[in-house]
Amino acid sequence: MQTAMRKGTGASYVKLPFRKEMREMGNENDNLKTAPAKEPERTFFFMETARQYVADLAEKKGSPLTCCVVTFGCQMNARDSEKIRGILTEIGFVDTKSEEADFVLYNTCTVRENANNKVYGRLGVLHGYKKKNPLMRIALCGCMMQEAHVVEKLKESYSFVDLIFGTHNLYRFAELFTKMLLSDRMLIEVLEGREEIVEDLPTKRTYSFKSGVNIMFGCNNFCSYCIVPYVRGREVSREPKEILREIEKLAQDGVKEVMLLGQNVNSYGKNLESPVTFASLLRETAKIDGLERIRFMTSHPKDLSEELMDVFAETKIVCPHLHLPLQSGSSRILAKMNRHYDKEHYLTLVQKLRERTPDISLTTDIIVGFPGETEEDFLETLDVVEQVRYDSAFTFLYSKRNGTPAASMPDQIEEEVAKERFQRLLEAVQRIAAERAERLTGQTLPVLVEEQNKQDASLVTGRLANNAVVHFPGDASLIGQIVPVTLTECKGFYYVGSRHA
Ligand code: 5AD
Ligand code: SF4
Q: How much is the pLDDT for 92?
A: 97
CB 320 within 8 A of CB 446: no
210-214: strand order across its sheet: 210-214, 257-261, 293-297
Residue 49 and residue 159: Cα distance in Å, rounded?
Answer: 26
Q: How much is the pLDDT for 196?
A: 75
* pLDDT grade for 2, boundaries at 50, 70 and 90: very low
Looking at all shown ligands, the one closest to residue 328's CA atom is 1
Q: Which protein residue has the closest C-alpha to ligand 2 atom 1? A: 226
Is 50 exceeded by the pLDDT of residue 219? yes
Q: How many CB atoms lie within 10 A of CB 3?
A: 9
Looking at all shown ligands, the one closest to residue 219's CA atom is 2
Q: For the whole model, what pTM was predicted? A: 0.91
Residue 164 and residue 176: Cα distance in Å, rounded?
Answer: 9
Average pLDDT, stretch 59-79?
94
Is 50 exceeded by the pLDDT of residue 6? no
Is 50 exceeded by the pLDDT of residue 11? no
Choose among 265, 215, 271: nearest CA to 243.
215
Q: Which protein residue has the closest C-alpha to ligand 2 atom 4? A: 263
Q: How much is the pLDDT for 29?
A: 52
Measured CA distances, 471 to 119, 182, 186, 454 (Å):
32, 48, 46, 11
Average pLDDT, stretch 57-79?
94
User: CB under 6 Å to ligand 2: residues?
Assistant: 219, 221-223, 226, 228-229, 263-264, 300
Choose among 21, 20, 42, 22: nearest CA to 32.
42
The more confident residue out of 123 and 197 is 123
* pLDDT grade for 202, boundaries at 50, 70 and 90: confident
Q: How much is the pLDDT for 194?
A: 73
Residue 348, C-beta contacts closer than 8 angstroms, at least 6 positions apart: none
Q: Which protein residue has the closest C-alpha to ligand 1 atom 14? A: 365
Q: How many CB atoms lie within 10 A of CB 178?
A: 25
* pLDDT grade for 34, boundaries at 50, 70 and 90: confident
Strands (E), 224-306: 236-237, 257-261, 293-297
Q: Which element (helix H / strand E) includes 94?
A: strand 94-95
Residue 392's DSSP bridge partners are: 363
Is 80 exceeded by the pLDDT of residue 13? no
Q: How many CB atoms lie within 10 A of CB 114?
A: 11
Residue 279 and residue 342: Cα distance in Å, rounded?
Answer: 23
- In tens, the pLDDT along 310-355 reads 999 899 999 999 999 999 999 999 999 999 999 999 999 999 999 9
Measured CA distances, 472 to 391, 439, 481, 488 (Å):
21, 19, 14, 9
215 CA distance to ligand 1 middle (Å): 21
- In tens, the pLDDT along 145-179 reads 999 999 999 999 999 999 999 999 999 999 999 99
How much of the chain is in helix, strand and coil states, percent to nearest 5?
A: 40, 20, 40
Q: How much is the pLDDT for 485?
A: 98
Q: How much is the pLDDT for 180?
A: 94
Atom of ligand 2 nearest to the CA of 222: 8
- Return the ∠ at Cα 27 (arms to 24 and 29), rounded to 5°: 140
The residue type at 327: Q
Q: Does 396 sit in the ligand 1 pocket, CB within 6 Å?
A: yes
Residue 259 and residue 295: Cα distance in Å, rounded?
Answer: 4
- In tens, the pLDDT along 106-115 reads 999 999 999 8
Residue 255 and residue 208: Cα distance in Å, rounded?
Answer: 6
Measured CA distances, 7 to 12, 168, 194, 195, 489 (Å):
12, 12, 11, 10, 57
Is 50 exceeded by the pLDDT of residue 220? yes
Mean pLDDT of the chain: 92
Q: How much is the pLDDT for 498?
A: 96
Measured CA distances, 2 to 12, 33, 174, 187 (Å):
10, 10, 16, 10
Residue 35 and residue 43: Cα distance in Å, rounded?
Answer: 9
- In tens, the pLDDT along 380-428 reads 999 999 999 999 999 999 999 999 999 999 999 999 999 999 999 999 9
226 CA distance to ligand 2 middle (Å): 6
Looking at all shown ligands, the one closest to residue 110's CA atom is 1
Residue 185 and residue 11: Cα distance in Å, rounded?
Answer: 12
Q: How many CB atoms lie within 10 A of CB 354?
A: 14
Is 50 exceeded by the pLDDT of residue 7? no
Query: Which of 72, 76, 222, 226 is the best mutation target for the ligand 1 pocket, counting ligand atoms within 8 Å of the beta carbon and taking the most?
Result: 226
Residue 185's DSSP bridge partners are: 15
Average pLDDT, stretch 214-224?
95
